[in-house]
């Protein structure tokens, strides 16, 4: 009779509702639409259910495979170059005083420039006839740089541009990580007779683990999704040299090939998710 | 093993800035256990870092067995340091942590490993040798950093910079026992920085009290308690610190509230100085309900039971003092009399030696 009934009150859900609604409109519905398109052939008013056909076509498409491998190679090169370079820069930054502030501001500048402006800057900078960098390499160093026609030059220019644009992010993360190491660690290592390299290997690197995990994840995702800068600089060319996944995806979608474009984006999306999960799992174990 | 002597040491962190250390002359005997005690910012850590070589003194010499090492690098000094927070190499195992200082100095893997095991056994951490240092608790980490300080055979002095700050109270006792065991076994010179006087007084053979960059007094815990060299030590050591009452010195006799208490030695300023104060520890105050010679009239204003004793607050001549009285001797609030079993006269903050207490049995006070 007198058994206490615990009052149940689910009104707390109302507090979560605004977030849920906005996520539904910004993420869930668009994603469901893409999934919906990916299993249909849409031509004007007629729609036909095609199952996994677009996925099979995408995975077998040599153009997709080419872009995918190009993207993968690009991201791997980005990580190989930018992570060590960012560590070196972060280690070399002045530690205190006005020099430190100035170095940080100067180094962070590329991060503040809009992506399409970065592309435009390099479009001009790397030109052999009027660009400062291109002219210098062609007429003073004596190379023959032409990113509009030579595929190796185009690839290298995009890679250098991305390095210029994003290495400061890695360096800033490393700098922040290094500042968080208490002086006592360096003092103890000095007393223990550790060399500069041993200090880096056993004091600094282990304590940079967290920031480097973030740096690797961010750099991998951003470079794998790169679009604006190569689009402005080379438009994917010459030929297909810099035709990354996002660029060919944009071409598909703009041509209203909705089914193939949807399947394409889902495969793309899934691969990025999977890679980040793998990176995160591996890096967390160190 | 080494005797460490600091000669005319001065240090400023910035040229023209304040002195972090001022005119320090100090000798640490070989094999002694010392505590360096003082309030925050008094220069303790600076002195420690100068001894270990992490800081280079602006002026003066640091002598290890009569060799000046003030300009020798830290790695080349036979010294180890344990820090306030456990500093370990987190990516290594405990064993690798212990071998690290040896391997850096070119000692073979086999010898380093044997020595690491030896020290780990001494500190009773040999069961955790294979574990990653990162997974240990704070006190185990601090034991590992202590062990790492001990592995180098040539180390003759170990410096501790408040090493028990982050340790749980129960574990503090165990760590302090481990330290004592190590000291008994290996006989290093130990210098232990702390601002906790209980820790300092229980650990050390001798205590150095510092304030504002200078050494205030060096002595055994008993010396510091019974014969503070100045009002700073009198106040800083003890809880509560020493009572100070301004004294009137006339014709070679110091008196308080009209009661003659001390004979000032001949040769000193017989008619006193405005800075003259009589210092008495609360522990050396006795309360009486009747007047007599050498009893000072007071008013007891407050009584506070602290379990093993009664803390009495009293006023004399407008100044306030504290007395720690046995429970059996519980006073009454209101007018009464106190006598002092040990007292000192301070002039300009420094103890005036050879004052003779009036009316006390010979030897009751050496001050």
Q: Within a domain: residue B186?
A: yes
Same domain, B181 and B253: no
The reply to whether ipTM tops 0.95 is no
Same domain, B223 and B91: yes
Query: Quick check: B205 pLDDT over 80?
Result: yes
Q: What is the mean pLDDT of residues B344-353?
A: 85
Q: Within a domain: residue B123?
A: yes
Q: Within a domain: residue A147?
A: yes
B240: cis peptide before it, omega within 30°?
yes
Q: Within a domain: residue A9?
A: no
CATH number at residue A110: 1.10.3720.10
**Mean of pLDDT over chain B:** 85
CA distance B76 to chain A (A): 8
Tens digits of residue pLDDT in B267-295: 666 677 788 888 999 999 988 888 888 88
**What pLDDT is recorded for position A286?**
66
**What pLDDT is recorded for position B135?**
86
Q: Within a domain: residue A189?
A: yes
Burial A193-205 (b: 16+ CB within 10 A, else e): bbeeebbeebbbe
**Given B182, B199, B232, which residue is the final one in a domain?**
B232
CA distance A180 to chain B (A): 14
**What pLDDT is recorded for position B9?**
85
Q: Alpha-carbon distance B288 to B308, whole Å?
A: 20
For chain B, the first-to-last Cα distance in angstroms comes to: 36
Asked if A184 and B74 come within 8 Å (Cβ–Cβ), the reply is no
Q: What is the mean pLDDT of residues A249-256?
A: 83
User: What three-state secondary structure class fits B340?
Assistant: strand
Helix (H) or strand (E) holding A81: helix A62-92
Same domain, B30 and B125: yes
CATH number at residue B302: 2.40.50.140
Q: Within a domain: residue A76?
A: yes
Q: Within a domain: residue B364?
A: no
Tokens of residue B304, six digits: 């506070």
- CA trace torsion B208, B212, B213, B219 (10° rounding): -10
Query: Quick check: B362 pLDDT over 70?
Result: no
Query: Quick check: B321 pLDDT over 70?
Result: yes
**What pLDDT is recorded for position A64?**
87
Same domain, B109 and B221: yes
**What pLDDT is recorded for position B348?**
85
Ramachandran class of B252: left when φ > 0, alpha when ψ lies in -120 to 50, beta otherwise: left
**Given B232, B250, B271, which residue is the final one in a domain?**
B232
Burial B248-258 (b: 16+ CB within 10 A, else e): bbeebbbbbee
Pick from B52, B85, B92: CB nearest A191: B52
A57 contacts: CB under 8 Å, gap ≥ 6 = A260, A263
Query: Quick check: B152 pLDDT over 50?
Result: yes
Same domain, B208 and B268: no
Same domain, B21 and B159: yes
Does residue A199 sit at the B interface (CB-CB below 8 Å)?
Answer: no
**What pLDDT is recorded for position A3?**
63
Pick from A184, A190, A202: CB nearest B85: A184
Q: Within a domain: residue A1?
A: no
**What pLDDT is recorded for position B251?**
80
Q: Within a domain: residue B117?
A: yes
Q: Within a domain: residue B303?
A: yes
Q: Within a domain: residue A51?
A: no
Domain count, chain A: 1
Q: What is the mean pLDDT of residues B27-49?
A: 87
The share of chain B scoring above pLDDT 90, in percent, equals 8
**What pLDDT is recorded for position A105?**
92
Same domain, B204 and B256: no
**What pLDDT is recorded for position A255?**
79
Q: What is the mean pLDDT of residues B160-174?
A: 83
Same domain, B283 and B205: no
Same domain, B316 and B248: yes
Alpha helices in chain B (DSSP H): 44-52, 94-104, 109-122, 138-150, 169-186, 197-203, 221-226, 231-236
Q: What is the mean pLDDT of residues A21-32?
A: 94
A192 → chain B, closest CA residue: B101
Range of the domain at A101: 68-284
Same domain, B86 and B228: yes
- Residue to mutate among B46, B89, B103, with most A CBs inside 10 A, is B89
Least confident residue range of A4-8, A217-221, B42-46, B331-335: A4-8
Q: What is the mean pLDDT of residues A174-202?
A: 91
The share of chain A scoring above pLDDT 90, in percent, equals 46
Q: Within a domain: residue B311?
A: yes
Greater confidence, B231 or B156? Answer: B231
**What pLDDT is recorded for position B367?**
38
**What pLDDT is recorded for position A2?**
59
Same domain, B189 and B222: yes
**What pLDDT is recorded for position B307?**
84
Strands B33-37, B206-211: pairing kind: parallel
Q: What is the mean pLDDT of residues B185-190?
A: 85
Greater confidence, B267 or A216? Answer: A216
Least confident residue range of A10-14, A40-44, B149-153: A40-44
Domain count, chain B: 2
Asked if A188 and B83 come within 8 Å (Cβ–Cβ), the reply is yes
**What pLDDT is recorded for position A276?**
87
pTM of the full structure: 0.75
Range of the domain at B267: 241-357
Tokens of residue B50, six digits: 């100068």
Tokens of residue A159, six digits: 């890679």
Categorize the per-residue pLDDT at B360 as very low, low, confident or very high, splitting at 50, 70 and 90. Answer: low
Pick from A187, A190, A192: CB nearest B100: A192
Same domain, B139 and B256: no
Q: Alpha-carbon distance A50 to B1, whole Å?
A: 86
Asked if B52 and A195 come within 8 Å (Cβ–Cβ), the reply is no
**What pLDDT is recorded for position B1?**
57
**Given B232, B257, B291, which residue is the final one in a domain?**
B232
Q: What is the mean pLDDT of residues B128-157?
A: 87
Q: What is the mean pLDDT of residues A263-273?
A: 91
Q: Within a domain: residue A179?
A: yes
């Amino acid at each position: 009779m007198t058994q206490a009934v615990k009052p149940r009150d689910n009104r707390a859900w109302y507090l979560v509702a605004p977030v849920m609604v906005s996520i539904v409109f910004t993420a869930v519905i668009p994603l469901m639409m893409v999934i919906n398109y990916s299993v249909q052939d849409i031509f004007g008013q007629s729609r036909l259910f095609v199952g996994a056909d677009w996925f099979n076509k995408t995975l077998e498409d040599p153009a997709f495979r080419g872009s995918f491998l190009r993207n993968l190679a690009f991201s791997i090169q980005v990580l190989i170059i930018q992570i060590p370079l960012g560590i070196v820069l972060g280690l070399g930054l002045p530690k205190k005083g006005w020099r430190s502030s100035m170095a940080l501001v100067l180094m962070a500048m590329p991060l503040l420039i809009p992506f399409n402006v970065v592309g435009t800057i390099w479009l001009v900078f790397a030109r052999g006839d009027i660009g400062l960098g291109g002219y210098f390499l062609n007429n003073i160093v004596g190379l023959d740089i032409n990113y509009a026609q030579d595929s190796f030059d185009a690839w290298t220019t995009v890679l250098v541009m991305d390095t210029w644009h994003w290495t400061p992010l890695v360096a800033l993360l490393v700098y922040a990580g290094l500042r968080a190491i208490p002086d006592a660690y360096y003092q103890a290592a000095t007393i223990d007779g550790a060399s500069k390299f041993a200090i880096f290997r056993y004091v600094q690197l282990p304590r940079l683990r967290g920031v480097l995990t973030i740096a690797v994840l961010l750099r991998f995702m951003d470079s794998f999704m790169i679009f604006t800068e190569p689009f402005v600089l080379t438009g994917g060319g010459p030929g297909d040299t810099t035709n990354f996944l996002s660029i060919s995806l944009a071409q598909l979608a703009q041509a209203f090939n909705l089914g193939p474009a949807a399947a394409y984006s889902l495969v793309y999306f899934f691969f990025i998710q999977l890679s980040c999960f793998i990176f995160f799992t591996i890096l967390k174990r160190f | 093993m080494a005797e460490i002597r600091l000669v005319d040491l001065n240090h400023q962190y910035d040229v023209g800035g304040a002195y972090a250390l001022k005119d320090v002359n100090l000798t640490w005997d070989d094999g002694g256990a010392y505590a360096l005690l003082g309030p925050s910012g008094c220069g303790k850590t600076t002195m420690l870092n100068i001894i270990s070589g992490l800081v280079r003194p602006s002026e003066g010499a640091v002598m290890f067995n009569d060799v000046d090492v003030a300009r020798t690098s830290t790695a080349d000094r036979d010294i180890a340091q344990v820090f306030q927070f456990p500093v370990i190499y987190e990516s290594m195992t405990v064993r690798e942590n212990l071998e690290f200082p040896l391997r850096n100095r070119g000692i073979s893997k086999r010898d380093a490993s044997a020595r690491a095991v030896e020290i780990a056994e001494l500190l009773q951490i040999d069961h955790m040798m294979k574990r990653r240092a990162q997974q240990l608790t704070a006190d185990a980490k601090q034991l590992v950093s202590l062990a790492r300080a001990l592995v180098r055979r040539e180390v003759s002095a170990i410096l501790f910079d408040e090493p028990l700050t982050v340790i749980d109270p129960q574990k503090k006792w165990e760590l302090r026992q481990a330290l004592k065991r190590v000291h008994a076994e290996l006989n290093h010179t130990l210098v232990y920085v702390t601002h906790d006087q209980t820790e300092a007084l229980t650990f050390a053979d001798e205590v150095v009290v510092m304030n504002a960059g200078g050494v205030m007094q060096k002595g055994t815990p008993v010396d510091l308690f019974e014969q503070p060299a100045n009002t700073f030590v009198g106040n800083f050591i003890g809880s509560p610190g020493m009572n100070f009452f301004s004294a009137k010195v006339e014709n070679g006799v110091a008196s308080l509230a009209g009661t003659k208490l001390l004979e000032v030695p001949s040769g000193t300023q017989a008619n006193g100085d405005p800075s003259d104060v009589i210092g008495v520890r609360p522990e050396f105050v006795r309360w009486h309900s009747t007047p007599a010679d050498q009893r000072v009239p007071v008013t007891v204003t407050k009584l506070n039971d602290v379990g093993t004793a009664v803390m009495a607050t009293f006023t004399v001549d407008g100044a306030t003092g504290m007395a720690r009285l046995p429970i059996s001797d519980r006073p009454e609030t209101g007018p009464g009399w106190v006598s002092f079993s040990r007292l000192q006269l301070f002039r300009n903050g420094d103890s005036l030696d050879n004052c003779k207490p009036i009316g006390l049995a010979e030897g009751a006070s050496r001050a």
